[in-house]
Chain A
């Protein structure tokens, strides 16, 4: 850990202003990811802007029949919200599949979306990693990469995005609302928040530097069943080996790419009457294994039909 300065932001506008004015500043929400990374010398911001107490923790109904979830709402709070549980059960299931109760009590919606990869080489500063130290190489590429990406990876980075919540949000077609350093609000599909690694795996999102996530907006729940299934080594407190979120006709996969992976090919195949096995087969046509992660292709080809069948059971809808 390096020395840094700290401020507690009083409102969102002040937070983005401070971020714009201070080079190498970072927002601090629950701190469950950022503080670990600072202790390990993976992140070294000079300045922390604590946004944890901004009044952005509400969950409100929208005029369109959806929900607006404030970026500071805790993961536990969102998962337990009666409206979320009744209308967006896939979101509750995904959130409680992540971390541990203690982590979910601290973790915020905004922080969860922007949490960084769990790639072991990213965490070990003695190893090359293009994401942590651009240009140093990718330690995982020819290493022990059992949990790396099978979609959209590049030779520069094969890491996955570890969020469970984000996978459900992509399946639910959520939007993200942000406030720019200049104080401008904008919103865009959450699916477009994260990037594929390409040549610059250190740049993980399409946010402009210093932009603050203020809310996630859910459209009205889709027709059809919802389900989240996560496969992991142990029953709790463990990153996914693969996961799938199904919300009506939409499907997203987790732990398979540098971002929550919308399974557009599978969705289209299902819509045109293909069997779940055929549908996921169509999606997996674009998958490629990298050393030790080939099992994920088999795993997903078996997991997804089981999840689709589960989503089609009565009582799985909103």
Chain B
């Protein structure tokens, strides 16, 4: 097994960064294709012969069963090729009792007459055109028997259980310390159910050649989807080739896959012709996964000089009836602040709602909305600056486990952020700063998000033109994977960026876990670095062993790689010349990465600090963000442009979480009410004034061979709390029920006599 020590090898081209390509803000590899609309997303992929089109129907009840099926009119409708419900859908692999995130297992579609949640897919119509399929879908007549359902989270707290295999974590004696604490905060926060709202809905184009299936679909995890699909179709894994070249946003919502993939595959087999199926925007809201709502109880106890003596964050959340997912909103609190007495944990309520699962920064995104506001409240009670309070409670080692930090620059993030933002201009008493009809406030919050490394492989090939091709079954969900893999290859092999090709998103390529949990770049990139190093070795050995090479007879360890030229001291030749002579078909090397056996000895996280300025109209309760600054410490940054875009994207999402986003459940129907982007409000351009993300210089040697970490989920963690704190600083009232919409803020203002 590897140890983190083994990662400290030389040479390490990523760390040496001789050509300066690592970190550089280079444009996206696939950018031109995307901005010209020529990147074929799954639904746009042209199959080998004209496709048929499937349209799915969704259940209009939350719980019960299908009692009647009448598809005669739909079947007789022009162009219709097949209509499937549970009654005639092909046999598929059986669904396991509960799904788990990383184990592939069958996900059968249209499996029975049972309806488990509103919007569950219950039928599919396939026709020669999308229009004919759509028209026919309206003619499918299903009747339902509506069963008793539990859908309102707050009404079922008494049914809350410990999440499977989990227990509360208590250190010291929290209750006693809290009771004894001279200064306390004790409040409850609520966060709503949220939808991912990816720009690209889930979609699939599928076709068969004999008993081999090719599917283009939109998922985050290539191998997981390939294997699960094969098991659903009861096929050997190798008979399924799954491609996902471009993904228009995932955010956790495409960690698994949905009926579009299964039904397109089955219908293509049945019809002997390619089939395309996509979810509508409305189907995306119910028919995929969501971030569940939470209720979070925070209790903080401190001494009058601001030392935390007791800290607790307890979360109640929900998942679907057959589900297993827990929104771990309390977890990050275990690693953030020092406090000798601590209590954290979760309770789970199972409801007849659609499936709950991961959404960008699962846990942190919701949890920071309570604890980081509670810290602001505590600072006010103590008469301390919120930054000072946090610095005062900075732990020397991990506050729960006592492990050393791999590296932790939270305090530096807070200090540099305070200076760059002009935090000293904040007036501690709320409601003091007016700008026309607006009251202006400043707020801050800390950011933290875990760091992970998973096993992955990659292969590099150099061809006779000196072009390097990177191959990896990895995904780019808009994050910049293509680009950073190209940068790693260019720097490792000493070739210009323009001489690198990247092939990802294909189950036939060396497997990588995909995109999620902000582990993508570290995991995929580390495997790529290893492949690059192995290819360097192979090239060096080829050169020194080739009598025709100027490097002949040299020491392979001395070979350098720069500008497409290989050299030993002043003996050199072009890489392409070497390959053309010896390996006209190209030379390939493989690489892989595995988590270090001793990685668990360190507490490894990414950190940051958010600073926000908001304006609040105290007459109407409207809030507008004016300025946001995030300062982050997340290991070595591979590309300042794509990383910045990840971080600011997260920060903007934080604004949405604080101010506008959330879906509401109508108890009568068990359905979500906001079903499109006119009703489910994500921030738009006009909501975000200035936004900037700064990344500190950092290398985390314990994280992986490149010393990098993830940034995809760090930016959202804490951002919404900073907005909420800024609102308080502007107007002096708090709303603890997110999102903080004008109606709620107005009620709080009026209750405070304003």
**A residues in contact (CB < 8 Å) with B:** 1-3, 40-41, 100, 118, 120, 123-124, 126-127, 142-144, 146, 231-239, 241, 295, 298-299, 302-303, 306
Q: How far is the CA of A306 from the CA of B618 in the complex (A)?
A: 11
Q: Is B659 part of the binding interface, using a Cβ–Cβ cutoff of 8 Å?
A: yes
**Interface contact B620-A303, CB-CB below 8 Å:** yes
Given A1-B135, A144-B666, A235-B686: A124 and B675 interface contact (C-beta under 8 Å): yes
| A295 & B747 in contact (Cβ 8 Å cutoff) | yes
Taking CB atoms, residues of chain A closer than 8 Å to B131 are: 1, 3
CB pair B669–A126 under 8 Å, yes or no, is: yes
| Bound CA span A299–B135, Å | 44
Q: Cβ of B681 and Cβ of A238 under 8 Å apart? A: yes
Is the pair A299, B60 in contact by a Cβ cutoff of 8 Å? no
Q: Which of B60, B675, B687 contacts A123 (CB 8 A)?
A: B675
Contact among A3, A124, A234, A237 for B671, CB-based, below 8 A: A124
Instruction: Please state if B138 and A120 are interface contacts (CB–CB under 8 Å).
Output: no
- Bitwise, B653-697 to A at CB < 8 A (1) or not (0) is 000000110001010110101111011010111110000000000
Query: CA of A38 to CA of B206 in the docked complex: distance in angstroms?
Result: 28
- Chain B residue at minimal CB-CB distance from A126: B60
- Return A21 CB to nearest CB of chain B, in Å: 24
Report if B437 contacts A (CB, 8 A): yes
> How near does chain B come to A145, taking the closest CB pair, in angstroms?
10
Whether B659 lies near A120 (C-beta < 8 A) is no
Q: A2-B138, A146-B743, A236-B686 are in contact. List 13 more A-B contacts (CB 8 A).
A: A40-B282, A118-B678, A118-B679, A120-B673, A124-B282, A126-B671, A127-B669, A143-B666, A144-B673, A233-B681, A295-B742, A306-B437, A306-B620
User: Is A234 a contact partner of B687 (Cβ separation < 8 A)?
Assistant: yes
Q: Is the interface of A mostly helix, strand, loop or mixed?
A: loop
Chain B residues with Cβ under 8 A from A298's Cβ?
746-747, 750
Q: How far is the CA of A234 from the CA of B669 in the complex (A)?
A: 28
Shortest distance from the beta carbon of A10 to any chain B beta carbon, whole Å: 27
Is the pair B743, A120 in contact by a Cβ cutoff of 8 Å? no
Q: Could you show 27 A-B contacts with beta carbons less than 8 Å apart? A: A3-B131, A40-B282, A120-B674, A120-B675, A123-B679, A126-B671, A127-B671, A143-B666, A231-B620, A234-B659, A234-B660, A234-B683, A234-B684, A234-B686, A235-B684, A235-B686, A237-B684, A241-B742, A298-B746, A298-B747, A298-B750, A299-B621, A299-B742, A299-B743, A299-B746, A302-B619, A302-B620
With the chains together, A234 CA to B679 CA distance in Å? 11
Whether A231 lies near B678 (C-beta < 8 A) is no
Q: Does B624 contact A (CB under 8 A)?
A: yes
On chain B, the residues within 8 Å of A124 by CB distance are 282, 671, 673, 675
Known A-B contacts A143-B668, A146-B743; the reply to A233 vs B659 at CB < 8 A is: yes
Given A120-B675, A127-B669, A237-B684, A41-B660 contact (CB < 8 Å) = no
A235 touches B135 (CB 8 A): no
Nearest 3 interchain pairs by C-beta? A126-B60, A235-B686, A236-B686
Q: Is B622 an interface residue (CB 8 A)?
A: yes
Could you tell me the distance between the alpha carbons of A124 and B676 in the complex, rounded to whole angstroms?
A: 10
Query: Min CB distance, A253 to chain B, in Å?
Result: 14
Point out the residues of chain A lying under 8 angstroms from B282, CB to CB: 40, 124
- Name the distance in Å between A309's Cβ and chain B's nearest Cβ: 10
Given A144-B673, A299-B620, A302-B620, verify A233-B741 contact (CB < 8 Å).
yes
Decide if A41 touches B138 in the complex (CB within 8 Å): yes
Q: Which residues of A contact B135 (CB under 8 A)?
A: 1-3
Assess whether B664 is in contact with A295, with CB atoms less than 8 Å apart: no
| Shortest Cβ distance from residue A161 to the other chain B in the assembled complex, whole angstroms | 15
Which single member of B679, B683, B741, B750 contacts A120 (CB below 8 Å)? B679
A residues less than 8 Å from B344 (CB atoms): none
B479 to chain A: which residues have CB within 8 Å?
A: none
How distant is B37 from chain A, measured CB to nearest CB, in Å? 16
Q: Please tell me if B134 contacts chain A, counting CB pairs below 8 Å.
A: yes
Within 8 A of A (CB), among B698-754: 741-743, 746-747, 750
- Give the Cβ gap from A177 to chain B, nearest Cβ, in Å: 30
Chain B nearest CB, measured from A234 CB (Å): 5
Bound-state CA distance A33–B656 (Å) is 26
Q: A144-B666, A146-B743 are in contact. Are A233 and B684 (CB under 8 A)?
A: no
Please report the C-alpha to C-alpha distance between residue A1 and residue B60 in the assembled complex, in whole angstroms.
Answer: 18
Q: Which A residues lie within 8 Å of B681 (CB)?
A: 233-234, 238
Complex contacts, B671 vs chain A, CB 8 Å = 124, 126-127
Question: What 1/0 mask marks residues of chain B from 91 to 113 whose CB sits below 8 Å from any chain A CB?
Answer: 00000000000000000000000
* A144 engages B686 (CB within 8 Å): no
For the complex formed, measure the closest distance between the CB of A2 and the CB atoms of chain B, giving whole angstroms.
5
Across-interface contacts of A123 in B (CB, < 8 A): 675-676, 679
CA distance A142 to B667 in the complex (A): 10
Chain A nearest CB from B192 CB (Å) reads 12
Contact present for B742 and A231 (CB under 8 Å):
yes
CB distance from A122 to the nearest CB of B (A): 11
Instruction: Report the Cα distance A120→B671, complex, angstroms.
Output: 12
Contact of B624 among A3, A120, A235, A295 (CB under 8 A): A235
Tell me, in angstroms, the Cα distance from A41 to B137 when the chains sit together: 11
Nearest-Cβ distance from residue A277 to partner chain B, whole angstroms: 12
C-alpha spacing A100/B659, complex, angstroms: 19
Residue of A nearest to B656 (CB): A234
Once the chains are docked, how many angstroms separate the CA of A123 from the CA of B280?
14
* Cβ–Cβ < 8 Å partners of A237 in chain B: 678, 684, 686
Chain A contacts of B666 at CB under 8 A?
Answer: 143-144
Query: Chain A nearest CB: distance from B737 CB in Å?
Result: 13
Min C-beta distance of B53 to chain A, whole Å: 13
Kindly provide the distance from the CB of B144 to the nearest chain A CB, expressed in whole angstroms: 10
A261 to B: closest C-beta gap in Å:
18
Q: Cα distance A298–B651 when bound, in Å? A: 32
Residue among A1, A126, A144, A238 making CB contact with B134, cutoff 8 Å: A1
Q: Which residue of A lies closest to B620 (CB)?
A: A231
Partner of A143, one of B673, B676, B686: B673
Q: What separation, in Å, do the CA atoms of A183 and B100 have in the docked complex?
A: 67
List, in ascending order, chain B residues with CB within 8 A of A303's CB. 619-620
Complexed CA–CA distance, A234 and B282 (Å) = 21
